[in-house]
Amino acid sequence: MRTVIQRVSEASVAIEGQTKSKIGVGLMILLGIEDVDEKEDIEWLCRKISNMRIFPDDEGVMNKSLIDVNGEALVVSQFTLHASTKKGNRPSYIQAAKPDKAIPMYESFVEELQTHLTTDIKTGEFGADMQVSLINDGPVTILVDTKNKE
């Protein structure tokens, strides 16, 4: 599982011109799922994301977590995070999980993350053509891959 996590002051997802989800201060989480990903990856990743100290404390030091600031989360499935650009100019997405595996894993990720937070998790729509807008606060952008957890 691969994520791009962005600390935001606000973020939203629109589908066909209509806002589906919107958050204030929190994290925009782009989630890429592979066929080899398992439930343990979800559990590890949700703990890591919810406890990652990337929000400023009173001195402006990144010392607070999403939990500490009671922040919101917007989770968007993004298979292109597993793009391979080794050959040619057209990325290959062969590593990305197919919908029959990816949809339940995406839903499980959202459910697991919800167990760590008091705010409701907002989402995009799996497989939809979405327009994502955000104001990256900092900017803070972090890549987390469950293949690098050891």
- Residues carrying an active site annotation: 78-80
Q: Is the pLDDT reported for residue 150 higher than 80?
A: no
What would the two tokens of residue 42 be?
């979800």
Nearest to 76 by CA among 40, 38, 18, 33: 33
Structural domain boundaries of the chain? 2-144
pLDDT digits (tens, 9 = 90+) for 120-129: 999 999 889 9
End-to-end CA distance of the chain: 14
Q: Are strands 72-77 and 26-32 parallel, antiparallel or unpaired?
A: parallel
pLDDT digits (tens, 9 = 90+) for 47-71: 999 999 999 999 999 999 999 999 9
What is the CATH architecture of 2-144? 3-Layer(bba) Sandwich (3.50)
Residue 80 pLDDT more than 90? no
Region 129-142 average pLDDT: 96
- What is the rounded average pLDDT for all residues in the chain? 95
pLDDT, residue 53, reads 98
Say whether pLDDT at 94 is over 90. no
State the pLDDT at residue 82.
86
